[in-house]
Structure 1
Amino acid sequence: MRRKVSFKTRILLNFSVIIGLFTVGIILFEQQQFKNERTLSLERTLENNADIVYRYLNENSIDLQKEPERVGELLRYMPSDVRFTIINWEGRVLYDNFLDVRKMENHLKRPEVQKSIGFGNGSNIRISDSDNIKYLYYSKKYDEGYFIRLAVPYNVQLQSFINSGSSFVIYILLFFIVCILMVLYFSNRFSRSLKELREFSLSVRNDVKIPASFVFADDEVGEVSADIVENYNLLQENRRKLAAEREKLLQHFQLSEEGIAIFSKDRREIYANSHFLQFLNIILDNPTLEPELLFDDPVFGEFVDFLNIHPREGNMFSKRIEKSGRQFNVRIIIFEDESFEFYISDITKSEKTRLLKQEMTNNIAHELRTPVTSIRGYLETILNLYDYDEENSERIRGFLDRAYTQTIRLSELIQDISMLTKIEEAPDRFELEQVRMNELLNELSNDLADKLNENKDNFLVNVNDNVVIYGSRTLLYSIFRNLIENAISYGGENIDIVVRCYNENENTYFFEFYDTGIGVDEKHLVRIFERFYRVNEGRTRKTGGSGLGLSVVKNAVLFHKGSIVAKNRPEGGLHFLMTFPKFLQ
């Protein structure tokens, strides 16, 4: 089995290699610099010697073609290891102090000669073909028609120079040793903290209790390790809390009377409680224990279509499904990560109760409406035919007026109760259409003209012809009729009643309705939409009404997915602010 190298050893080896390479690089770089400087120094020396030879030849008028041997007189002034050669511009060697010129080949192609042709002087380091010794050659061109070339053995001159830099090499080696010792020191400190963190990790993995005296090294790594441990403890605590919450959620799902299933983005089951499988098997034709099969059944086709919509306007879709004599409300909620939940509720019992309640309310309203209508008709006939000359006629007529007023109130009460019941229990029975609000409000003004004139009230409409709401014409008519009748009954005489569409955006109309009457006390504003709630001060029962008008208004607004709030106007009167979506969703 291969032995694992410790972190400390890896740090020490890696940094030692890096420092070693850096040290060797410095030595090689400095030696190259020394070598280049020494070469330049030798070239300058050789150039001075070439100039000395040139001056000697000119001062002594030596003809190199006829008497080249006279050049040898300079040898006593030259170092013994210096070789100099005179070459004419055609490359023929005229003089060489080491070799017989008659045996020497043409030197025009020599590198140092070629450089001096182009630049006036040039140098080259190479091994001589004549004696196999490495030389530094230096050549200089002169106008008299020849080149003077000098050469010295290169390795002999350089060796003494390298020896002179031995102190620098020793300094670099000392630098290397100090760096290694520093790396060793810091790796020991760093590995100590890592070792402590490793011991803590193993203790956690093996579920060994951590002693209270356990602390990390007092350095930066130790502080980081302590932070890691603290975050680990927080993570463990959060995991315990999350597990407890998950257990609560699962218990809630299991005890819930709804069928609940959670699916991933790729429509794989994550969780499904027993009620979901039970309800699903009632809805599907073939029993199954795999909730994913619902996506292949046509009954859930609309839900699959909703999942496939991108982008979608909302994240929820619901539908009622009836199967085997039972009714289910099915809804789907999609989350941001495209996972989603299915809910199936068995509403068979509640639906039967609702239908029974609706039927009972309708029956009561129907049974009351017939006798009340008859009584109202009789009273109207009696009032029209009554003989005013009979004794006690005023008293009897007063009783008849009261009876007639009460039948009217009872008729309105039955009508409002029927309207509220229909809104709450059977909203699908209202026919939806495009309603032009200006046309509806003008129709309403005509219908209530007698009441407005009797009270000397002015009804003002400020709604453009292009304001169109998609909704129930019956309910929209009922909203504004109840508001107007409420203002007529309780606002006082000779007031203005105003309805205005004061703003709109892409999706919503903003309406206001107000009167310039007496308003209501602030403490009653939060309750005026409650059923049968009456404001006693200034609004008594003598004005009539069912006590359900504003409740009908609020429920009708909510039916249209709108909102309504009431407040007093600073100038006097009651002010209603309403919103209506342009399209019902």
Structure 2
Amino acid sequence: MASTNRFRNNLLFFYSAVFFFVAILILGYLYSREKDYRISTLNEELLNVAKIVNNYILFNRIPDTGEYGKIDSLVKLLPQQNLRITVVDNTGTVLYDSSVPDWKTMENHAGRPEIIKAGSSDFGTVVRTSGTTGNNYYYLAKKFKSCFIRVAVVYDINVANFLKAKLLFLVIILVFFIALGFVLFIVTNRFGEAVTGLKDFALSLGSEKPFRTDFPKNEIGIIGARILEMYNNLLRTKNELSNEREKLFSHLNALNEGIAFFSEDKELIFSNNHFTHYMTMLTGELSLLPSDILRIPEFVQTREFLDTALSTLTTQGDIRKTEYNVSNNGKYYNIQCVVFNDRTFEIIISDITKTEKNRIIKQQMTSNIAHELKTPVASVKGYLETLYNDPEMDRKTYKYFIKKAIAQTDRLGFLINDISLLNKIEESAGSFQTERVKIRKIVKDVSNNFKSAIQSKNMKVEADIDDDIIIKGNKSLIISVFQNLMENSVNYAGEGTTISIKVYNRDKRYFYFSFSDNGIGIPEKHLPRVFERFYRIDSGRSRKSGGTGLGLAIVKNAILLHKGEISVRSKSGGGTEFLFSLPRMN
């Protein structure tokens, strides 16, 4: 507010000073012009009288007769009162004076100021006291051919007032200027507000914040308001672009891919965190910067592509791209390079280790499935061919081969069911419905399923599961977990072993289970891989026991589907222990 008043006051003072100066000049000029006009009017009137007197003298041949007294009769006829008419010859001798009866005795007037002026110009005027009468006169002298004729009026208050400019006129002019000054004040005030608003706006530009002010409704105010509107729109657009830029950078940094943008001169413009990380993982060097990427041997293919693409890129809208895979230390990466039509380019590094390993696993799994299917199919085929080629086979042998063929088809069915279950867990996890599952009952049912096998191997099951151990899960999958763990122990732990099942811990979300046996155990080197599909400690282990090689893989995937965890370890006293968690039913 102080800034606004200061500028307005300075502007008002400047314009007021200029206005006052101009007003004084104009008033002075008008006053002088008015005064000159009145003097000119008086002079014209006196000159007319002088000309009348001169014409009278010439008409009556007074210079020849010397009868200058006749002029008295003319003076009486003149409409002007109190005029003093004097006739002076060229030598200064007074020939006639209407106000002095004894004019012949008057002194020589050649030295009178008005006579001197009239001799050198058209006429001469002066205000002075008469040396003859002692009165103040306004004199006007005019030189004619044979004499000077001087006309004078008594310089009294009336004449003095007549010669002065009329004050009323000056007052009117002054009032006009005061009104004009008031208008100037209003205009200056509004102009000052507009200019101050523009100044405040200019000072606020560095803050990059929206500016708000009310401009006056004049031309400058309209211009200022329009500029302010454009600025705020540009600032809003800039802020929106800045926000979008930050979102883009945040998005690029949140991507799992490493991405970097480069200029036409191969100078780095932007790179995200993953780009630097993947470069380090690929090369093993910690001191590399994203700008060093084109000097790395692993990216020689990218460098060669860029050299070719940048030298041949001419068509508008033409975009060049290359893509290839590299690997290092068991990690797989996909490298993409895209050259845009403005000759800038981007390099994208994607970690495809999981995808690539899944592909390898699927290849291995396909190979394993084919291998696992081949054995029972070949066995069934062999048994059937034997029966077909020996129709005279005795009844006992015939039944033996039929029984073996049925066993292999059962094994084939189990294998197909396990593969189907694994695929369903991995690809259609949402299709499994959850419910309240009592673990004590599940363990009891599973133990009963293996009762004959357990008894035949002189094994024992110790289950320490309370009735309140209730989980939220899919019942069939939970049965598969305990079924496969039980089958694994029964088949491989050895005779006379004890199987122990218990809850060793719990919290608000999970129950923590231990499933162990004190059998022959699993060698340490095999423990990390026991959950892999078709993995066998020895090549014939599963086949001899009738297993599919997928049991522990099903266990792990079923527990992971329930958001639990599972691990395996060798017990200090011998045997194997599986530790896993399952979600509680709240």
Whether TM exceeds 0.5 here: the answer is no
Q: TM-score, normalised by structure 1?
A: 0.34
Which one has a bigger Cα radius of gyration? Answer: 2
Instruction: Return the TM-score normalized by structure 2.
Output: 0.34
